[in-house]
Amino acid sequence: MLTEKVLHMNTGIGESSYATNSHLQGTGVKRSLPVLNEAINRIAKDLNGFLGCFKIADLGCSSGPNTLFLVTKIIERVHNICSESNSQVPQFQVFLNDLFENDFNTVFKSLPAFYTNVKEEKGDECGPCFVSAAPGSFYDRLFPDESIHLFHSSYAVHWLSRVPQGLENNKHNIYMAKTSPTNVFEAYKKQFKKDFTKFLQLRSHEMITCGRMILTIPGRSIPDPSSDDCCIIWELLAKSLVDMVKEGMVQESKINEFNIPYYTPYEDEVKDVIQKEGSFSLQSLDGFPLDWEPYNYTDTMNTDDVSGLPKLGVNTAKLIRAVIEPMMVTRFGSSIMEMVFKKFEERVVDHLTTKKGVNYNLIISLVKR
Amino acid sequence: MLTEKVLHMNTGIGESSYATNSHLQGTGVKRSLPVLNEAINRIAKDLNGFLGCFKIADLGCSSGPNTLFLVTKIIERVHNICSESNSQVPQFQVFLNDLFENDFNTVFKSLPAFYTNVKEEKGDECGPCFVSAAPGSFYDRLFPDESIHLFHSSYAVHWLSRVPQGLENNKHNIYMAKTSPTNVFEAYKKQFKKDFTKFLQLRSHEMITCGRMILTIPGRSIPDPSSDDCCIIWELLAKSLVDMVKEGMVQESKINEFNIPYYTPYEDEVKDVIQKEGSFSLQSLDGFPLDWEPYNYTDTMNTDDVSGLPKLGVNTAKLIRAVIEPMMVTRFGSSIMEMVFKKFEERVVDHLTTKKGVNYNLIISLVKR
């Protein structure tokens, strides 16, 4: 399976699209704002303000309401710093990056409204702001040498460049799971270390000295790689696929050969790679838990109330489907998708009757040495 | 009618797409190569070679085989100059520009093959080359100050920012035509002067000093604005629409209110705007005629042979449909498109029985003062 060809979110703006089902990621993005603002403050200090054109890249931008949200916030912060110091607001050049198969057309159609908003809110003295797309894998070079001031990436760098090698014995699983043999955990960890090291190397070439990078990814607060924090979602999805085997709808070998190119690192693993690679200093690393369904969970139910569970099941299934469907279709075909995600929805509800659905997330703030 | 919203070529790669029906533009692009190469030679001379990253922008790139053809040729020329002078080949940053509604997704899907080709042909010491998209109107700012070395635009700058005002009396026409009242010619000319002046102003801010710009557009070798050289295609299309009125398929008022935002300038009008705007020196202005159907015309028939005419009619109709259909659908609806272009095809064949189908084209080479 060529990861670059199938690793993209569900396109468009329809019911099963990533654009419609990315509010969990949106909540995570909002949580990263204080760290992002602090990074911008530090850039302003280190560079003595913003001269000429401030260049920003968003890696793994996907397509949806989150894509331009952070750009707006970055402009806002720079604008405020310039107002406070009575200095000229710079021009902005923003590069949105994602893989070649990403739905950039939908992002571009939202740009006229974005530009109008920036102009209305910040006035003519701000910018102008130029948004462009730089498609390609962030495991390859994307930008000219020393051309970017600020890299940002939200829920993207946990996607590996490829499925790790040597997972043949990860039977009935599609990711690290409680029943995975030890070599599976090792293979995933090894691939993450290799990929994240390369990612840092490449970005360090593309970034100006004192440039900053903020990464938000799902991860782990504990060393155990099969922790519920990060793996239970994929265990439930694997079980839904195994249910389909029992009904004769899916070949067992297809599940055994399917593993997702994804890794939720333990905090210390991240720190370790950053230190060994050596191009960046770690400014901060913050972890926080996030409910699977952050909007509805607290609004509609308390922990003893199960009436909201079916809705939570539906929403969580939509969220995961928007992320993983293109990859699953490549392996299992599109005809069984409805049924797999129906089963998954039931398994999610079942899980939530006894446990809370929570992911752990990391916000990593780096500065180029 | 909001021009920016509807002015785009037919998307995708299907039978009626621009990608499949842009060989006439492709022939024009090839004709501009010597002028382009000369411009690159001069940049190398003026800037003492290529240092750091060579930045190129293609304005109105559309989507299809022509989009990346010129990028390949530019890289080739720079590569040759560097080989001859034994100097390091620079990195390349290429910005593909078109309106927000353009089909960039299709362009991006062709990038992996493009990168592989560049690497195979030029080797690892070339580049890397970073292709990105900068969507937006070239009648607005697109790039930061003084950031582009070479602008290129092929069959785009003749599209106006809007339909000229005061065309209410241009009855039964959709562009300047032999039966157009004088004020129509004046209104089109005025809009072109205004738009082209603004275009030059904007680009001069975005270009480094001694940067160059090559524009290829359809135009006129003679002052007469209703010359067959540039207008007959649209007269034949207007007549096809009038045929539809007679059959009760189209309201007459809809044709009278429809005028295309397009202008084919006389050579001296172009020179005049460049001189008055003042940011650029005109390096050269070359004109050349181009058959409507450059591939088939000379291959399959001589001027007395009419057996190839039906095929010419089909191909010319496809070519024009790929360019103008989205705009026509907005005004007339999609249901009549098949029939309009069938009638147009017949009118093209009829025209070609007595006259040759030829457009006149201009290649304009500019250097920033």
Query: What domain count does chain B have?
Result: 1
Which pLDDT band, with edges at 50, 70 and 90, does B297 fall under?
Answer: very low
Per the CB < 8 A criterion, the answer to whether B276 and B270 are in contact is no
pLDDT tens, position by position, A31-76: 889 999 999 999 999 998 888 899 999 999 887 667 788 899 999 9
Per the CB < 8 A criterion, the answer to whether B24 and B316 are in contact is no
CA distance B128 to chain A (A): 8
Cα–Cα–Cα angle for B259, B261, B266, rounded to 5 degrees: 110
CA distance B39 to chain A (A): 23
Residue B296: predicted pLDDT: 45
CA distance A138 to chain B (A): 12
Range of the domain at A91: 12-226+259-292+359-368
Of A100, A108, A131, which is closest to B112 when you measure between CB atoms? A100
Return left, alpha or beta for B127; rule: phi > 0 is left, psi -120 to 50 is alpha, else beta: left
pLDDT tens, position by position, A106-163: 999 999 999 998 888 877 766 689 999 999 999 999 999 999 999 999 889 999 999 9
**Interface with A, mutate which of B3, B63, B132, B137 (most A CBs under 10 A):** B132
**Interface with A, mutate which of B108, B118, B129, B203 (most A CBs under 10 A):** B108
Query: What is the mean predicted confidence (pLDDT) over A227-232?
Result: 81
> Regarding predicted confidence, which is higher, A207 or A297?
A207
> What are A140's two structure tokens?
């390859």
- The three-state secondary structure class of B315 is helix
In a domain, A157, yes or no: yes
Chain A residues touching residue B143 (CB < 8 angstroms): 93, 130
A136/B95 touch (CB, cutoff 8 Å), yes or no: no
- Tell me, yes or no, if A91 comes closer than 8 A to chain B by beta carbon: yes
Q: Is the pLDDT of residue A273 over 90?
A: yes
- Tell me, yes or no, if A128 comes closer than 8 A to chain B by beta carbon: yes
Q: Which of A9-18, A115-124, B226-235, B282-291 has the highest mean pLDDT?
A: B282-291
Average pLDDT, chain A: 86
CA–CA dist A145, B339 (Å, integer): 54
> Regarding predicted confidence, which is higher, B342 or A14?
B342
Residue A316 φ/ψ, nearest 5 degrees? -65, -40
Sign of CA dihedral B101, B102, B106, B107: negative
Per the CB < 8 A criterion, the answer to whether A241 and A255 are in contact is yes
> What are B320's two structure tokens?
């024009």
Q: Which residue of A has its CA nearest to B93?
A: A144
Q: Which of A39-53, A248-262, B10-24, B141-155 has the lowest mean pLDDT?
A: B10-24
CB atoms within 10 A of CB B253: 10
Residue B335: predicted pLDDT: 87
Question: Which run of H or E residues covers position B368?
Answer: strand B358-368
Question: Which run of H or E residues covers position B366?
Answer: strand B358-368
Q: What is the DSSP letter of B369?
A: -
Question: Which run of H or E residues covers position B119?
Answer: helix B111-122
Three-class SS of A85-129: CCCCCCEEEEEEECCCCCCHHHHHHCHHHHHHHHHHHHCCCCCCE
Residue A11: predicted pLDDT: 63
Residue B334: predicted pLDDT: 87
Which pLDDT band, with edges at 50, 70 and 90, does B93 fall under?
Answer: very high
Q: Is the pLDDT of residue B47 over 50?
A: yes
Q: Which residue of A has its CA nearest to B109?
A: A100
Q: Is the pLDDT of residue B268 over 80?
A: yes
Residues 132-171 of B with CB under 8 A from A: 132-136, 141-145, 147
> Regarding predicted confidence, which is higher, A229 or A146?
A146
- Tell me, yes or no, if B262 comes closer than 8 A to chain A by beta carbon: no
CA–CA dist B11, B105 (Å, integer): 10
A108/B100 touch (CB, cutoff 8 Å), yes or no: yes
Q: Is the pLDDT of residue B282 over 90?
A: yes
Q: What is the CA radius of gyration of chain B?
A: 21
Q: Which of A135-139, A205-209, B24-28, B162-166 has the lowest mean pLDDT?
A: B24-28
Q: Is the pLDDT of residue B307 over 80?
A: no
> Regarding predicted confidence, which is higher, B328 or B81?
B81
Query: ipTM score of the complex?
Result: 0.87
Q: Which of B50-59, B144-153, B206-215, B312-321 has the lowest mean pLDDT?
A: B312-321
A136/B109 touch (CB, cutoff 8 Å), yes or no: no
Per the CB < 8 A criterion, the answer to whether A190 and A168 are in contact is no
B4/A134 touch (CB, cutoff 8 Å), yes or no: no
A104/B103 touch (CB, cutoff 8 Å), yes or no: no
pLDDT tens, position by position, B236-247: 999 999 998 888
Average pLDDT, chain B: 86
Amino acid at A60: G
- The three-state secondary structure class of B104 is helix
Q: Is the pLDDT of residue B24 over 50?
A: yes
In a domain, A272, yes or no: yes
Residue A349: predicted pLDDT: 87
Residue B2: predicted pLDDT: 46
Residue A23: predicted pLDDT: 61
Chain A residues touching residue B53 (CB < 8 angstroms): 144-145, 147
Of A53, A103, A112, which is closest to B100 when you measure between CB atoms? A112
Q: Which of A113-122, A172-181, A291-300, A310-319 has the lowest mean pLDDT?
A: A291-300
Three-class SS of B127-148: CCEEEEECCCCCCCCCCCCCCE
| CATH number of the CATH domain containing B265 | 3.40.50.150
Question: Which run of H or E residues covers position B57?
Answer: strand B53-59
- Tell me, yes or no, if A208 comes closer than 8 A to chain B by beta carbon: no
A111/B141 touch (CB, cutoff 8 Å), yes or no: no
A100/B93 touch (CB, cutoff 8 Å), yes or no: no
A53/B91 touch (CB, cutoff 8 Å), yes or no: no
Chain A residues touching residue B147 (CB < 8 angstroms): 53, 93
> Regarding predicted confidence, which is higher, A166 or A354?
A166
Residue A299: predicted pLDDT: 46
Q: Is the pLDDT of residue B14 over 70?
A: no
Q: Is the pLDDT of residue A293 over 80?
A: no
Cα–Cα–Cα angle for A268, A274, A276, rounded to 5 degrees: 100
Q: Where are the beta strands (DSSP E) in B134-278?
A: 148-154, 207-218
- Tell me, yes or no, if A113 comes closer than 8 A to chain B by beta carbon: no
Residue A298: predicted pLDDT: 45
Chain A residues touching residue B7 (CB < 8 angstroms): none
In a domain, A120, yes or no: yes
> What are A241's two structure tokens?
């696929």
B112/A4 touch (CB, cutoff 8 Å), yes or no: yes
Residue A28: predicted pLDDT: 67
Residue B156: predicted pLDDT: 92
Of B108, B128, B142, which is closest to A104 when you measure between CB atoms? B108
pLDDT tens, position by position, B310-368: 788 888 888 888 888 888 888 888 888 888 899 998 998 888 888 888 889 999 999 99
Q: Is the pLDDT of residue A181 over 60?
A: yes
CA–CA dist A201, A199 (Å, integer): 6
Of A53, A95, A144, which is closest to B91 when you measure between CB atoms? A144
A52/B111 touch (CB, cutoff 8 Å), yes or no: no
